[in-house]
C-alpha cells in the first residue's frame, strides 16, 4: 500500500503537521457553529503524506476500538476517500463523531512515532476528513451483515457505548433494539456535547446509518420505570441486555447556597441548550437563565466544564470564568479545548475552590466565595492534591454558576434490578474484558461502569460488549 | 406519538385528557408522573397521572403557561408528540387508619388516584378539596364515590365552606376523628399551611412537589429540593416528601426562576393563538375589521 506515497521517509518526516482551519475566535464566540472547519482534500493529502506506514503501527494499539489507521491513511493517499471511510467503519461505527471528539493526543496520535521527534500525524483530522467526505457525497459504505441469528438484544441508552454496541451486534446478525429515555437519540452526543464541537446533524446522520443497517430505535422508554431489565429478558423476549445508560446523576459540591436560582449542574445547563435549544428561546420553548451581560462561573476543569463555559460565552455572558481547584497542568480537559476556550476569552481562575454560593434576598446567586489552594503531594490519581490556604477566602461576582465536577451512576436501572451488583458510587460492576455483570445475560459498559470518561472509551466498551454478547448468544455459555 | 382518546373541560382552563399509552398505563402507580412534549420545539413538562385504564392514562391539565395552554387546545383524535413515564416513586400506600387527602385546585387531580388507593388499602379516607371559586373545584363527584366524607372549601364561598382547606383540616385534627395520615397536593402556600396545621400534632404528612424539571430521570438535577436539610431530586427521589421536612421557600424561589421567560412565551403564544385577523367574525365579514381593532 505504501506505493501510494511518492516521498522517501526522510522527506515525510520533514513535512510540518497541517493546522486545522478554524473559525476566528472573535467570530465564533458569538455563534454556535462548529469551531473546527475541517481539512480540504489538498491539506488532507499533505498530512497523509507524513505517515511513515511503520510496521509497528502503534497508532492502532492506541485506538480503543482498533481502527486500522495506517490502512485508511494509505487509501487517503490514493485519493480513494470512500474506501478509507469504509476501512474505518469496519471498526468504528461513528467516524465523523470520533474524528471530532476523540482525545487523539492520548490515543493514536499519542503513540505515533512521528511524535517522538516532532508532531504526530494528525490522525483525527484525517478521520474527520474522510468521514465528512463520505457524508458529503452521500455514499456511506455500510458494512456487510451476517445472516440473521434469530437472537434479540436490547441496548439501554443511545449514547456512544450503546450505538457502538448496536452497530457491531446488528452486523453479527442479531436483532437489536436501542431504548432511549429522552425524546431524541444520541445520549451525551446530543444533550452533552455542544453544537460548536459536534454538530447535531452529524449525530443524526450516524444514527440514520445505524437504522439503515437494521438497528431499531425506541425513544421515550425509561428502563427501570417504563420497563425493567427482568421484563426485557422475560416477557419482552430479549436474549441479552446491554446497559449503557451513562453516568447521568450530577454531583454537586455540597456547599451552602447550591439551591440558589442561577446555580446549575453542567448536565442541566448543557441539556437546556444542546437538547432543548434554549439558546433559541422563544422560537424553542425551553428557557435558560438569560446570561447576557452577566458573570458566569463554571466550576471544574474537564471537557464538560470547557463545553459549559464556552456555551456561556455564546449565550452572551459578560465574563465566563473557569474556577478550578488545582492548576492548569492538572486539568483533565483536552489541551485543544483549553486553548479554544482561552482564545475565545474565557478566564481561568485556578487554585481556587468554591466554599459557598452567596445569594440576594430573592434567592438569586450574586457571588461565589472561594478559597485559595496550594498543591501538595500527589494523590491516588497521580495529580498533586490541592490543599486550602488558611484565611485566603475571597469572593468573585457571579449571577450564574455551573457545577461541572462529574457524575455518579444513574440509579434507575440498578434500583429495579436487585441482582445487579454495583459499587459504592452507584456504578455497575462489570468484567473489564467481557463486560458481563453479576446477572446472567446482562452486560454493562461505558460511563455507567467506569464513571465519566470519553466518547471513544465508551465506544470501545460497546465493541467489547458486542463481542462478548455475540459469544454468549452463540454458545449460551455464561 | 400518543393518540388522544378523550378530551374534555373539567373547569375553566382545566382539561382532562385520556391518552393511549399502553406501556405507561400498565406500569403506573398512584403518585407517579409523566413528562410531556407537545410539539417539535416544545419544552418537557411533568404532569402527574390522574388515572389509568388498560391501555390509556388520564392527565388533568391546568392551562397556566404556554405549553399547558397549547396542550389544552388539543382534542380527541389528535396526538401528543412525546409522553414518557411513569416517572418518580409511587405514593406509599399503607393502612394508616384515618387518612385525609387534601387537593387544592388541580392538585385534586393528582391526589385523586392516591386517595382511591388509600381507600382500597382499608383506610377511612376523608377528602378536603378547595379552589378559588365553585367552577375550579374538580372531581368532587368522583371523590364522593368512594370517600367516607368530602369537605369542600372555596375562597369566595360560592361552594362549600368559605375559606381555605386548612379550616376543615384544623377541625379534624382537633376533633375526635384525628387523622393518622395526611396527603396534601396543591399550590405551595397551601401545602406549607397544611404542614403547619399537622406539625404540632406529629401527624405524618406528605406533599407532592412540583419543581421545574427537564429530563425527569435524575440526569440534570434541576428539580433538586431540600428536605430535612438534604438535597433530593424530585424526579427520582420524589415527587412525594415529608411535608414537615420540606424547605418550601427554596422550592418557591426556584419555581420562579424562569418567570420572565414564561411570561414572554405566554404573551407571544396568546398573540399567535388569537391574532386579530384570525377572528372568525372579521374573516367572514372583513368590513367589520376596523371596528374589531378599535
Task: Please report the pLDDT score of residue A380 as a whole number.
Answer: 82
Residues A157, A241 contacting (CB under 8 angstroms): no
Separation CA B239–CA B47 (nearest Å): 11
Q: How many CB atoms lie within 10 A of CB B200?
A: 8
Q: Per this entry, what is the length of chain B?
A: 294
DSSP state of A236: T
Q: Which among A48, A16, A56 has a CA at the least distance from the CA of A124?
A: A48
* pLDDT given at position A425: 84
- Residue B247 falls inside a structural domain: no
Domain positions in chain A are 9-137, 152-248+407-475, 292-403
A261 touches chain B (CB under 8 A): yes
3-class secondary structure, A228: coil
* Domain A152-248+407-475 shares a fold with domain A292-403: yes
The whole-number pLDDT of residue A379 equals: 83
Domain holding B46, by residue range, is 2-87
Which of residues B208, B232, B250 is at a domain's end? B208
* A410 touches B: beta carbon within 8 Å: yes
A9-137 sits in which CATH class?
Answer: mainly alpha
Q: Tell me, yes or no, whether B63 and B113 share the same domain.
A: no
The alpha-helical segments, DSSP class H, found in B103-243 are 107-120, 140-144, 166-174, 188-198, 234-237
Asked whether residue B110 falls in the same domain as residue B24, the answer is no
Nearest residue in A to B250, CA atom: A259
- CB-based contacts of A143-147 (< 8 A; 24+ apart in sequence): A143/A86, A143/A89, A143/A90, A143/A171, A143/A213, A144/A171, A145/A170, A145/A171, A145/A173, A145/A213, A145/A214, A146/A171, A146/A172, A146/A173, A147/A173
Is B90 near chain A, with CB under 8 Å?
no
- Residue B221 pLDDT > 70: yes
Task: Give the pLDDT confidence score for residue B286 in this predicted structure.
Answer: 59
Give pLDDT tens digits for A211-253: 999 999 999 999 999 999 999 999 999 999 999 999 888 999 9
**Selection from A127, A57, A137, A120 nearest residue A87 by Cα:** A127
The vertex-A353 CA angle with A349 and A357, nearest 5°, equals: 100
Task: Say whether residue A394 is in contact with chain B using an 8 A CB cutoff.
Answer: no
Tell me the CATH number for domain A292-403.
Answer: 3.50.50.60
Nearest-angstrom CA–CA distance, A50 and A118: 11
Q: What is the pLDDT of residues B2-17, one digit of tens each?
A: 999 999 999 889 999 9
Same domain? B63 vs B152: no
Angle between helices A123-137 and A69-77 (to 10 degrees): 60
Interface test with B, best of A182, A200, A275 (most B CBs within 10 A): A182
Note the pLDDT tens digit of each residue in B167-203. 999 999 998 879 999 999 999 999 999 999 999 999 9
Distance CA B56, CA B77 (A): 14
Pairwise CB contact (< 8 Å): A412 & B84: no
Please name which of A388, A402, A213 lies closest in space to residue A315, comparing C-alpha atoms: A402
Q: Which of B36, B217, B234, B260 to mutate to test the interface with A (most CBs of A within 10 A)?
A: B217
Write the CB contacts of A362 (distance below 8 Å, at least 6 apart in sequence).
A261, B253
Q: Nearest by CB to B84, which of A181, A252, A283?
A: A181
Look at B218 and A363 and tell me if their CB atoms are within 8 Å.
Answer: no
Write the DSSP string, A30-92. T--S-SB----HHHHHHHHTT----TT-HHHHT-TT---HHHHHHHHHTT-HHHHHHHHHTT-
| Residues B38-81 pLDDT 10s | 999 999 999 999 999 999 999 999 999 999 999 999 999 999 99
All residue ranges of chain A with pLDDT < 70 are 1-3
Domain A152-248+407-475 bears CATH identifier 3.40.50.2300: no
Has residue B250 been placed in a domain? no
Residue B16 sits in the same domain as residue B82: yes
Q: For A27-33, which contacts have Cβ atoms below 8 Å and span 24 or more sequence positions? A: A28/A196, A28/A344, A29/A310, A29/A313, A29/A314, A29/A344, A29/A345, A30/A314, A31/A196, A31/A314, A32/A194, A32/A195, A32/A196, A32/A279, A32/A314, A33/A195, A33/A196
Residue B169 CA neighbour count, 13 Å, CB half: 32
Total number of domains in chain B: 2
Are B204 and B106 found together in one domain?
A: yes
In a domain, B241, yes or no: no
Interface pTM (ipTM) of the complex? 0.90
Rounded to 5°, angle at Cα B43 from B38 and B49: 60
Contact A226 B260 (CB under 8 A): no
B123 & B200 share domain? yes
Amino acid at each position: 500500500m505504501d506505493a501510494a506515497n511518492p516521498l522517501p521517509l526522510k522527506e515525510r518526516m520533514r513535512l510540518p503537521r497541517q493546522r486545522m482551519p478554524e473559525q476566528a475566535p472573535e467570530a465564533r464566540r458569538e455563534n454556535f457553529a462548529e469551531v473546527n472547519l475541517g481539512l480540504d482534500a489538498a491539506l488532507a493529502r499533505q498530512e497523509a503524506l507524513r505517515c511513515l506506514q511503520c510496521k509497528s503501527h502503534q497508532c492502532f494499539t492506541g485506538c480503543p476500538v482498533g481502527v486500522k489507521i495506517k490502512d485508511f491513511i494509505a487509501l487517503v493517499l490514493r485519493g480513494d476517500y470512500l474506501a478509507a471511510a469504509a476501512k474505518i467503519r469496519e471498526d468504528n461505527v461513528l467516524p465523523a463523531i470520533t474524528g471530532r471528539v476523540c482525545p487523539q493526543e492520548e490515543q493514536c496520535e499519542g503513540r505515533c512515532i512521528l511524535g517522538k521527534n516532532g508532531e504526530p500525524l494528525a490522525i483525527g483530522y484525517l478521520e474527520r476528513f474522510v468521514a465528512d467526505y463520505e457524508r458529503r457525497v452521500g455514499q456511506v459504505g455500510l458494512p456487510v451483515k451476517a445472516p440473521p441469528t434469530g437472537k434479540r438484544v436490547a441496548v439501554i441508552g443511545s449514547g456512544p457505548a450503546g450505538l457502538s454496541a448496536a452497530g457491531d451486534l446488528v452486523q453479527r446478525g442479531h436483532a437489536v433494539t436501542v431504548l432511549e429515555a429522552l425524546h431524541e437519540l444520541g445520549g451525551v452526543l446530543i444533550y452533552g456535547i455542544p453544537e460548536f464541537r459536534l454538530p447535531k446533524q452529524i449525530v443524526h446522520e450516524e444514527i440514520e446509518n445505524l437504522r439503515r443497517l437494521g438497528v431499531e430505535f425506541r425513544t421515550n422508554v425509561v428502563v427501570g420505570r417504563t420497563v425493567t431489565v427482568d421484563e426485557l429478558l422475560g416477557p419482552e423476549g430479549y436474549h441479552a441486555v446491554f446497559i449503557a445508560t451513562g453516568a447521568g446523576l450530577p454531583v454537586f459540591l455540597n456547599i451552602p447556597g447550591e439551591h440558589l436560582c442561577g446555580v446549575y449542574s453542567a448536565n442541566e445547563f448543557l441539556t437546556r441548550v444542546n437538547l432543548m435549544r434554549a439558546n433559541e428561546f422563544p422560537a424553542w420553548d425551553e428557557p435558560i437563565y438569560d446570561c447576557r451581560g452577566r458573570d458566569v462561573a463554571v466550576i471544574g476543569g474537564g471537557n464538560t466544564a470547557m463545553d459549559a463555559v464556552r456555551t456561556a460565552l455564546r449565550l452572551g455572558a459578560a465574563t465566563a470564568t473557569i474556577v478550578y481547584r488545582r492548576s492548569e497542568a492538572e486539568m483533565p480537559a483536552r489541551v485543544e479545548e483549553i486553548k479554544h476556550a482561552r482564545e475565545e476569552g474565557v478566564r481561568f481562575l485556578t487554585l481556587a475552590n468554591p466554599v459557598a454560593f452567596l445569594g440576594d434576598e430573592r434567592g438569586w446567586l450574586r457571588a461565589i466565595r472561594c478559597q485559595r489552594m496550594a498543591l501538595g503531594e500527589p494523590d491516588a490519581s497521580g495529580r498533586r492534591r490541592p490543599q486550602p490556604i488558611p484565611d485566603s477566602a475571597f469572593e468573585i461576582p457571579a449571577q450564574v454558576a455551573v457545577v461541572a465536577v462529574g457524575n455518579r451512576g444513574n440509579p434507575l436501572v440498578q434500583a429495579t434490578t436487585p441482582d445487579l451488583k454495583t459499587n459504592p458510587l452507584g456504578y455497575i460492576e462489570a468484567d473489564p474484558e467481557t463486560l458481563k455483570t453479576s446477572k446472567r445475560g446482562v452486560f454493562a459498559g461505558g460511563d455507567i461502569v467506569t464513571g465519566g470518561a470519553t466518547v471513544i472509551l465508551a465506544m470501545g466498551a460497546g465493541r467489547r460488549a458486542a463481542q462478548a454478547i455475540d459469544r454468549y448468544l452463540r454458545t449460551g455459555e455464561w | 406519538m400518543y393518540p388522544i382518546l378523550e378530551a374534555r373541560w373539567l373547569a375553566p382552563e382545566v382539561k382532562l385528557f385520556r391518552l393511549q399509552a399502553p406501556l405507561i398505563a400498565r406500569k403506573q402507580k398512584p403518585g407517579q408522573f409523566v413528562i410531556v412534549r407537545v410539539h417539535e420545539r416544545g419544552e418537557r413538562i411533568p404532569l402527574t397521572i390522574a388515572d389509568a385504564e388498560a391501555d390509556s392514562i388520564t392527565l388533568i391539565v391546568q392551562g397556566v403557561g404556554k405549553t399547558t395552554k397549547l396542550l389544552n387546545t388539543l382534542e380527541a383524535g389528535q396526538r401528543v408528540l412525546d409522553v414518557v413515564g411513569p416517572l418518580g416513586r409511587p405514593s406509599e400506600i399503607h393502612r394508616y387508619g384515618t387518612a385525609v387527602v387534601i387537593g387544592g385546585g388541580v392538585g385534586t387531580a393528582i391526589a385523586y388516584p392516591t386517595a382511591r388507593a388509600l381507600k382500597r388499602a382499608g383506610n377511612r379516607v376523608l377528602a378536603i378539596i378547595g379552589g378559588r371559586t365553585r367552577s375550579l373545584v374538580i372531581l368532587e363527584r368522583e371523590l364522593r364515590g368512594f370517600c367516607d366524607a368530602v369537605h369542600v372549601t372555596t375562597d369566595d364561598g360560592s361552594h362549600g365552606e368559605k375559606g381555605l382547606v386548612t379550616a376543615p383540616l384544623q377541625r379534624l385534627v382537633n376533633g375526635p376523628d384525628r387523622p393518622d395520615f395526611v396527603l396534601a397536593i396543591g399550590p405551595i402556600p397551601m401545602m406549607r399551611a397544611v404542614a403547619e396545621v399537622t406539625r404540632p400534632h406529629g401527624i405524618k404528612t406528605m406533599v407532592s412537589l412540583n419543581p421545574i424539571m427537564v429530563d425527569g430521570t435524575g440526569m440534570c438535577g434541576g428539580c433538586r429540593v431540600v428536605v430535612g436539610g438534604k438535597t433530593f431530586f424530585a424526579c427520582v427521589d420524589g415527587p412525594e416528601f415529608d411535608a414537615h421536612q420540606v424547605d418550601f421557600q427554596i422550592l418557591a424561589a426556584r419555581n420562579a426562576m424562569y418567570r420572565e421567560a414564561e411570561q414572554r412565551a405566554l404573551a407571544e403564544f396568546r398573540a399567535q393563538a388569537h391574532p386579530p385577523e384570525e377572528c372568525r367574525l372579521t374573516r367572514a365579514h372583513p368590513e367589520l375589521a376596523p371596528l374589531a381593532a378599535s
